[in-house]
Structure 1
Amino acid sequence: MVRPQRHRKTGVYLFRQRVPADLVAVVGKQEVVRSLGTKDPAVARARFPAVAAEFEERWKSLRQGLVALSHEQVHALAGEVYREEVVAHRANPGGTELWVFALAFDNLIHSVRQRQRKIPSGLLLTTGWTEAEALARDRYGPRVDDLLARHGLQVSPQDRKRIILATAEAMRDAHAQLRRNAEGDYRPDPQAERFPAPQRFGPPLTMEELWEAYKKSKQISPKTVKRWEPVIQKMVAFVGVRDARDVTEEDLMRWRDHLLESPQPDSKNKKGKPLGPKTVKEVYIAAASAVYGWAKGQGKVKANPAGEIEVTVPKKVESRGKGFTDQEARMILSAALAPPSPLITPEHAAARRWVPWLCAYTGARVNEITQLRGQDVFEDSMVRMENGRKVEVTFYTIKITPEAGSVKTRRFRMIPLHDHLVEQGFIDFVQQRGKGPLFYAPERQKEGVSGQNPTYVRVGQSIALWVRGLGIDDRDVLPNHAWRHRFKTVGRRCGMDSAKLDAIQGHAQANEGGGYGEFPSDALKPEIDKHPRYEVTAAETTDGRRTRWSKERASSP
């Protein structure tokens, strides 16, 4: 992995990189080296990405071959030299003698060029340069070549000559300004405004390219890709800027206002309606800010245009808690015990039977349960004291692991099973299913199933729709996620240890120390045992009423 390297003698950190093999002949060397200007390793690491991005941009530009420059681009390059010269000496210009001499030389080149315009020149016929132009080339040619190298530009001899002559005039203005600075005159130089703004000469950095690089680097989940990719595409379409580096904060503020005020058509509603502030803030602006924030850290862009954009989200009026009530929990678990409909698959019937109960006794996310495999359920043991004697007790544990599917924290965790689940026959069910997925049949998956919408996610969505169909249509309660809220509430009520309660549910620990070590199954089993049993009887049927609202709400994130 490329990283800053410390110079053995000076201690200054360097950027070193091998020149791509296909560009060695063009660059003229096999390695590039640049000082990072610091002996502090932390500062060096912070500066490194920007330099790396600059060289990557240079290689991309060089692969374009010869680039024909417009008149504006020639003078934009000359303007860069002007600004570099003034910035380098403005604070401490020294005595006026230096700038008087430099300006005299520049004036000489200028005046001789003016006189030679109508005079035939033998040197021009043989070399393509007049005497005055040759003076400008000898003095400023190396500086122009360095500028072209930094931009990764290959230009024709004619364009190189145009840049050198424009640079000679630019340096004449720069040296006149620095002479005034040396005399104590720091008024703005009117000549500085004559140069075009700095321009890019390489291929554009498209938002699509930036997004692909972000996905690869951050290894975001398929669920996030599915949610954010259309958002990035909509942003590009609205802003209408080809190069991602040209997107401004003002562009994204206009986009924010458009999302909040104008109808947004979707697949369900062609007419659409404006998006809510919460969605705009937590999905649309968040996606743009995440990609640009990463790109800034990699040196690909200089600023995050979405980083400071605010969206005011009114506080939501909550008329109830987010978890299921005792009555709602009993209704769902009772329906789960009912005889399944003959119209659904065995896997779907098993999901209705066991997923609600597993969520109720573990507080896990629904998709962490629907992706469970037989191999993720196993027997464990612990030693406890009974009547003053050590007794080994066996119990069962499920393993929530990214190997089976998406896990929000990207970390595995172990959750002991409540004895009530074992008594109901869950282990017998697992043994009958074997090592594969418990709640869907891989052999019956549709061809081309996307990783952005895997089967276990669709199983969770079907459970949510089923719960809505039972009559739990409260807009403040999510049909699957409400189990996590309820588990936390019940855990507090029955006296579970707070750190262990968080570990069971995969929540971050309250302090740094909580992140050390592990929470083994035998340490969590006593906490699970504190959870009171759900004593319910089977309902007559697993099916209930379904409304248009229930279907829409169940499918919403």
Structure 2
Amino acid sequence: MKIMPNPVLRDNGTYYLWVAAPADVAKKAKGTFVTIPFGDTTTRAKINTHAKASLRTKELTEARKRFPAALAAVEAHWDSLRRGPIELSHKQALALAGEVRAAFVAVFDENPGEPQMWQDVSRRNALAQKGLVNELQVEIDDPLKTQETLEARFGGLVDAVLGKRHLSITAASRMKLLGHLSTAMNEAAAVNEAKALGDYSDGGHTDKYPEYVEPKAQEKDHDTGGNSKTLTDVLDQRIKDKALGKDAVPVKKGTEDKLRIVIQEFCDFRGHETINTITTEQVDQWKRAMLNKGKLSNNTISQRIQNLRTLVEYGRVQAFGKLFPEGNPVDLVERPEAAAVPSSEHTFRLGEARSVLLATRTKSLSDETRWLPWLCAYSGARISEPTQLRAEDIFEVGGRWFMRLTTMGGRSLKTQHSERRVPIHDDVLSEGFLNFVADKKAASKGNPTCRLFAASGQSKVRDWVRRTLKITRAELQPNHGWRHLFEDMALSAGMQDSARNYITGRTRGSSDEGYGKSEAMLPGLAVQMSLIPSYLDSED
């Protein structure tokens, strides 16, 4: 006989909802949040092994009144976990955004406050929609940054409306909802500002939002005899598969983010995520729509199409060829071309390089902006590589210092041949880099595996160069520009091709290359590095 849960009296004299997660969803439930109602208010509870929340009363009679609604919310959460993430339609996402808008308009109806408050809200909303956090930043075409700022600005509201309806949605649906919600919140701010100025006409936008209708159960795919896979399902499976094994090479976070953006944008265009109904015509229409909007560069659009092709190919592999047996439908879509930009335009000019390196000496900079430009300038490394350095990766051989760029410890490099040991240039050492490493290690109580830099180093340095130093030349790549410049400096200084290729990670790993096989080769590599002159002494 099943025992029904009841309010639990705790030591503080307060009654609680205290319900164990069912065995079939226990693993999924851990770490999730559930929104629990108490009359006109709600609370958000984090689940470990149980769902626990105060009923906010010490009276048993009142606790029994509040308990059924609280328990119903928890059981709806279990059901949501059993269903798994759902895909919201355009209409459903718009309806949820409308609910948040309506709540913000209603709560300020009697006392809307000062107009200036809502003007400030609108300004902050507009910044987030452009991928910015303040007016001093330079607007750039960076969908990942925009996604971050929208999440930071509106993510809590998304969680609240999803929690209220006990919904778990796909990543693509979340990005779709964020977009609609940002627009809805602009409207709410405008309505409340108008009310603060004495106009209660509501702007005429209230009726445009549909009522929310619960998603129907997934229809069966008659071709495969099972639920149709979505692009998000395919990507999630890929991430899971790549993480398996003792020496696994997990999918990089940056790669995952790019693929999720493609899922959101393509599925917003076609209206759903199901993978087995993708056609060449749909992809071509999506391409033409992006070209006609004129917001993305041709190179970016081309990369979007390539990333979609990659996702479909993952799906074909996971289906053992049963999905699109005649071939990947994206293959037949011609990708747009773009006028070539000379490599020199992507590269730091010597004057710019000097300005950046000198500016790193400014006090109160982050560790990333202080040291990553120097390490990249004197190695040609991709900035993601030194960003992953640990204290143990800085080592000495024959009186010369080196940094180890490696995939060990769950780190990632662009290719398997990017593993290398790079001499640290005397200019970097003269700046006090070894003291910085020693301080980091001491701060971690001697832990050799302590990270030298935050994972966000790449974006920190890029934003600092663009927004603080005002080096805004459109073609310049603020992080990758060091790689091109170092290669030019190495050529000019007469560095051996094999040494240059090894230092920059362009090695093929073949037996005829002279560096990197053992420590015996490192002193000779250090001699080659010493050929590179100081950037601070170089002339334009």
TM-score for both structures, normalised by structure 2 = 0.50
Higher relative contact order (Cα pairs below 8 Å, separated by 6+ residues):
1
Q: Which has the larger radius of gyration?
A: 1
